[in-house]
Amino acid sequence: MSRTVPAQPAGLLSRRALDELSALQANVHRHGTLRAAALRILVASRHAATAVAQREFWLEFAWADQEYRVAVRRLAQFCERYRDGSRRGLRACPSGSPPP
C-alpha cells in the first residue's frame, strides 16, 4: 500500500496576496452565478421562445461561460504562483498580466 506524503503548508500569504485571492474568489463566484442564471434561461427557452430569442440566450450563456472560465483560470494561476511558497510567487506581477 503506497501512501503519499501530505503537502507541507506553503506558509502565510501577505496582506496583498490575501486581498488578491479574495478578489479572485469573489470574481469566480460572481461569474459562476451569472453563468448559472444564463444557463437556466437558455434551458427554459428551448420550448418557450422563438429561434431568434433562443440564439440570443445562447449568446448570453456563451459570453457568461467564457467570463467564468477566464475568472477560474486567473484563480488557478494565482494558486500556481503561491502553491510552493517560493519567492518567485512573491514577486509582484503587473495587474492583469499572467505570471512569468
DSSP classification of residue 13: P
Domain chopping of the chain, boundaries: 15-84
Angle at 30 between CA 58 and CA 85, to 5 degrees: 125
Q: Give the pLDDT of residue 77.
A: 96
Q: Give the pLDDT of residue 18.
A: 94
Q: What is the pLDDT of residues 58-91, one digit of tens each?
A: 999 999 999 999 999 999 999 999 887 655 544 5
Q: Give the pLDDT of residue 95.
A: 47
Q: What is the pLDDT of residues 39-60, one digit of tens each?
A: 999 999 998 999 999 999 999 9
C-alpha cell at 28: 469566480
